[in-house]
Structure 1
C-alpha cells in the first residue's frame, strides 16, 4: 500500500465552505513541501468567496481585491472547486469519509443573534445580515423585502457591519452606481424614503467595534449630515483610563467621533446619528404589527471584576420613532448535518481546529474546522489566515502520524463521479471564471464594477447547465 501524501496516493482533503478561511487553509496545505495534497473545495452556492462576495459592503471594492489571491490558490492543479453542492442535500459526512482522508469545515457564521427584547419579532425588525446579503445579491435573500418607505431607521450595534448598513442607507444613487451592489437593490434604494438613520451603541466611543476608517467614511457621505451628541462623544473616567493603553488606531477612532460631535449641519437631505451609551429595551408596534417606536435606556459604564467595561442601565429613558430596525449585535454559525455543534456558542466544538466529540472531548479523526464556525465571528478577513494555519498545522501533524480517515474510494476521479451523480449541475472553478467574466462585462456596459447574477437558475442558464429533469 502506498504511503498517504505521495504522488501515488495524495493526501485527499475536502474543504466545506469556499470563503476566506477555506482558501487560506488550501493555501497553507499547498505550501507543505513534504506531502502531496489534493484539495476539493465545496460550497452550496455556485459562486466562491463567501462573505467577500456576499458580505463585504459594495462600496468597499478594495477589500474585495483579496479574491485575486484566492484565484492564484485555485490555479494550483491539485485544487478543484465544486460549487452548487450542499452538505446534507447532495453529500453527507459519511460520503466524505468514504472519499477523503481529511475534512475541513469552514462555513462561517450565517445568522444574527436576536435583541431579546419585547417586539423583536415585529414586522420591520430584521437581522442586519439579511439586509447585507440582500444588497449584495445573495441568491437566498434577493427576494426579501425591506420597507424603505420608512423615513427613520435604527441600526442596533456599532460594529463594521452596522456601519456598513447605515452607510448604504445613506448613500446617494450616484454613489451606489460606482459599486457592485445588486441591481434590484440599487433600484429599491433609488426610491428609498429614508431620511434619518440612527446607529445605536450600548457602550461608549472608546468601546465601539468599528474601525477608524469606517468612522471617517461616515463623515464623508455626499448627501448626508452625520452627527454625534457632544455629551455622548465625551469619554467617562473609566474610558479615559482605558485609553492610556490604547493603540493608535483606537485613539484615532475616538478623535474622529469627537470631531463629528463638533460638526454643524450643512443642509444635506439625510441625517445620520451615531449614538452611544444607549440600549433598546422594547420595540413598539402599530395596529398592523409593524414597528413604529423603539424604547431606549441610557447606560453608564462600570468595571467588572475582570477589568472590562460593561454597560449598566440608568433610570433615564427615551423613545425613538422608527419604522425599520436592523440588529447587528453578534452572529453565530449554523449546524451542519452530521457535524457536532455547540448551539449556545454557535460554533463547531474543537481544540485547535480539531473537531471534538462533545461528550468525550476527544478529537474526531480526520475532521477539522476553521474560520468563524471554529472560533466565532471575530476579526476581519485577514484574521482567518492565522486561524486556518493553526488548523492546518494540526491536520499535517495528524497526517504524518497516520491519524487520518481511511476512504474506500480515495481518488480524485472517484470523488468527481460521485459529485456529478448527486449534483449534475455542479459548478467548477472554470465555470465560475466564466460567470465572473460575464458579470464584469455586464458591469462595464453600464460603467459599474460588475453586475451580479443573483439567481442560481440564471447562473446555470448563463453556463448552459440545466437540471436533468429539464430539456436541454
Structure 2
C-alpha cells in the first residue's frame, strides 16, 4: 500500500501495555517509518481512562511499576494513536462494526478474572479473589465502592506479585497509603479495617517464591508491622537445596532475607524482648509468612469463612512438590486467593476456556479447526496467558505485528467498507456512547492531580493525586473539559 492510498486502518481493543505496545510497534515498523505504509490506529478501551492493568491492577504504593505509565503516556501523547475510552467491545461496538470500519483488529484485553482455586469451601462468604480486591483498592469504576474488612485474621494464598501486593495493602496502615493516589473511599475502608494478622501461604519453599528480593524487603517496611516466620520452613531445606540456593544470586538474596527475619525474631524471643517494627516502633499488625503449605479446604460455619486447612509439603528428589500427609488448620475470618489470572471470552472471538486465551497462531486469531481468521489478531495476556511482565509483552507485540505486516504485504486482508476515520465517531454518537479522548484523559489527569494538591497526606504534605472512581464523574470531567458535545 503506497502513501498515496487510503491509510491502513487498525483498531486495538485494550489500552494497557499490550495494546499500546502493539500500536507503537506497528508505527515503528520500517515500512511505516519509511512511508511505504500509511496507518491510522484507534485504541479503544471499555474504561474512560487509558493504561489498563497499570492503572487498575498494580498496588498504589508501587511507584516503580506505576512509572510504566510515564512510558505509555509518552507514546499516546505523540498524537499518532487515537484513544477512544468508555467504549465497550461487544456492547457499544460489535465485531461486525469493527470489521466494517477497520482493516484489522488486535485484541489486547488482558486477563482480568481470578484463576480458580478448586478446594472445598472456596465459595464461602469471606472468600475473595485477589483480582477483585485489587480492582477495589485501585478504584476501578466497575467494582463496588466498599469492601468488607472486618476480619482480624486474613489469609492470602499465593507467592506471586499479586499476593504480595494484597498482603502489603492489608498490612499497611491507611495513613501510609495517603502518600499514594488511593481514592477517598479506599482510604476510609482501610482506615476502618479490623485486620491485625495477615498470613501469606505458598505451596513451595522460600527458594521457590516468584517475587524478587526487593519485593520481599518491601513487605517488612510498613510502620507498626512485625514479620513472623515459622522456623520449620527454613529448617526443612536440605543441604543439597542450600547448595542450589547459594549458586543462584537472586535466590540466595531472597532466602537470606527470610533467614534474617527469622534470626532477628529468635534473638528477641531468646532475650525476652518485645517485638518491634523495622524501625523499632510498636507493633500494631503482624505479617506471617508460611511456606510448604498446600491449600486443602476453606473451613466455615453458617456460610462464613472461619479457617483454612493446609497440608504441609516438601520437595521430592526431582524437585517437585509433594504432600507430607501432615494437616494444619488456621483460624481465619477471610481468605484471598492470588493464584493467577484468567482471560475473559469476547463476543464472537474464538476462545480457549481452559487456558483463558483467544486461540491464535503467532498472534493470528484461529478458529476451532485451527484455520486463521483473516484480520483478527491478539496480543499480551489474552494471547499467551497471564505470565511474564512488560518485556514479554513487547516481544508478543513484535510477533503479532510481524504477522499483521506479513498479511498486509500478501494481500490476505479484506479492506474496510467505511474508510472515513470520523465515521466511527459518528456511529458512537448515534448510539449515545459518551466516548472519551486523549485530550479528555489529559483533563482528567490534571483534575486528579488538583484533587491531590488540595489534600494532605499523614505528614501534612500535599498529595500527588487522588484517583476519581465514579465512571460518570470520569466521563464528565473528560468530556466537559474539551467541550465535547453530548451525543444527541
Q: Please, what TM-score do these two structures have when normalized by structure 2?
A: 0.90
Output the CA distance in 2 between the equivalents of 1:94 and 1:301.
52
Q: Which aligned pairs between 1:290-301 and structure 2 lie closer than 5 A?
A: 290-301=304-315
Structure 1 residue 183 displacement after superposition:
1.5
Output the CA distance in 2 between the equivalents of 1:238 and 1:164.
32
Name stretches of at least 5 consecutive residues in structure 2 with no aligned partner: 32-36, 266-274, 277-281, 456-461
Output the CA distance in 2 between the equivalents of 1:226 and 1:381.
30
1:348 to 353, 358, 362: 358
- Corresponding position of 2:367: 357
Output the CA distance in 1 between the equivalents of 2:3 and 2:431.
29
- Corresponding position of 2:410: 401
2:82 to 60, 80, 84: 80
Tell whether the 8 Å contact from 1:230 to 1:258 is kept in structure 2 after alignment: no
- Corresponding position of 2:271: none
Name stretches of at least 5 consecutive residues in structure 1 with no aligned partner: none
Tell whether the 8 Å contact from 1:204 to 1:276 is kept in structure 2 after alignment: yes
Output the CA distance in 1 between the equivalents of 2:307 and 2:340.
22
SS in 1 for 2:223: coil
Tell whether the 8 Å contact from 1:212 to 1:252 is kept in structure 2 after alignment: yes
1:319 to 325, 329, 336: 329
- Corresponding position of 1:124: 126
SS in 2 for 1:176: helix
Q: Judging changes above 3 Å, is the alpha-carbon distance between structure 1 residues 131 and 397 closer, same or farther for their aligned structure 2 residues?
A: same
- Corresponding position of 2:204: 203
Output the CA distance in 2 between the equivalents of 1:262 and 1:374.
44
Structure 1 residue 280 displacement after superposition:
1.8
Work out the number of aligned pairs and report it. 458
SS in 2 for 1:253: helix
1:115 to 104, 114, 117: 117
Q: Judging changes above 3 Å, is the alpha-carbon distance between structure 1 residues 251 and 392 closer, same or farther for their aligned structure 2 residues?
A: farther
Tell whether the 8 Å contact from 2:12 to 2:43 is kept in structure 1 after alignment: yes
SS in 2 for 1:338: coil
Q: CA RMSD in A?
A: 1.8
Q: Judging changes above 3 Å, is the alpha-carbon distance between structure 1 residues 12 and 321 closer, same or farther for their aligned structure 2 residues?
A: same
Q: 1:396-433 CA distances to partner (integer Å, 9 max, x unpaired)?
A: 12111112232111231222322332343000111111
Tell whether the 8 Å contact from 2:198 to 2:288 is kept in structure 1 after alignment: yes
Tell whether the 8 Å contact from 2:432 to 2:487 is kept in structure 1 after alignment: no
- Corresponding position of 1:281: 296
Structure 1 residue 271 displacement after superposition:
0.5
Output the CA distance in 1 between the equivalents of 2:18 and 2:332.
37
- Corresponding position of 1:67: 69
Output the CA distance in 2 between the equivalents of 1:428 and 1:224.
43
Output the CA distance in 2 between the equivalents of 1:466 and 1:401.
42
Q: Judging changes above 3 Å, is the alpha-carbon distance between structure 1 residues 7 and 213 closer, same or farther for their aligned structure 2 residues?
A: farther
Output the CA distance in 1 between the equivalents of 2:45 and 2:21.
15
SS in 2 for 1:177: helix
Structure 1 residue 77 displacement after superposition:
3.5
Structure 1 residue 468 displacement after superposition:
5.3
More displaced stretch, 226-235 vs 46-55: 226-235
Output the CA distance in 2 between the equivalents of 1:416 and 1:199.
48
SS in 1 for 2:316: strand
Q: Which aligned pairs between 1:84-163 and structure 2 lie closer than 5 A?
A: 84-146=86-148, 148-163=149-164
Q: Which aligned pairs between 1:159-238 and structure 2 lie closer than 5 A?
A: 159-234=160-235, 235-236=237-238
Structure 1 residue 132 displacement after superposition:
0.5
Tell whether the 8 Å contact from 1:169 to 1:194 is kept in structure 2 after alignment: yes
Tell whether the 8 Å contact from 1:230 to 1:262 is kept in structure 2 after alignment: no
Output the CA distance in 2 between the equivalents of 1:134 and 1:326.
13
Tell whether the 8 Å contact from 2:147 to 2:189 is kept in structure 1 after alignment: no
Tell whether the 8 Å contact from 1:91 to 1:422 is kept in structure 2 after alignment: no
2:286 to 262, 268, 271: 271
